[in-house]
Amino acid sequence: MALPLHAGTLGGGIALSSQLVDRGQAITKATPILQGVLSWTTPDGWALGLSASAKARSPGRMVEAMGQVAHYWTLSGDWSMQASAIYYKYPTGNRFFDRSEGGLHWTYRDVLTFGVSATHFTHADHERTRGGADANFHWPLTEELSLSVGAGVAKSYFDPYPYYRYGHAGLAWTRGAWRVELDRVAADVKTPRYWRSRSPGAEPWVATVLWSF
- What is the per-residue pLDDT for 123? 80
Grouping H, G, I as helix, E, B as strand and the rest as coil, residue 140 is: strand
Reference 188, options 167, 166, 170; nearest CA is 166
- What is the per-residue pLDDT for 199? 72
- Give 177-193 pLDDT, tens digit per residue: 999 999 999 999 888 87
Distant-in-sequence, close-in-space partners of 121: CB < 8 Å, separation ≥ 6 = 96, 97, 98, 99, 128, 129, 130, 157
Its pTM stands at 0.89
- What is the per-residue pLDDT for 92? 75
- What is the per-residue pLDDT for 197? 72
Q: What is the dihedral of CA 131, 105, 54, 66, to 10 degrees?
A: 80
**Which residues of the chain have a pLDDT value below 70?**
1-7, 93, 125-126
- What is the per-residue pLDDT for 201? 83
Q: What do you get for the CA distance between the two ends of the chain, in Å?
A: 4
Choose which CATH entry (3.30.565.10, 2.40.160.40, 3.40.50.20, 3.90.76.10) describes domain 3-212: 2.40.160.40
Strands (E), the chain: 3-5, 8-17, 21-22, 25-26, 33-41, 46-55, 62-74, 79-89, 99-108, 112-121, 129-140, 145-155, 163-175, 178-187, 205-212
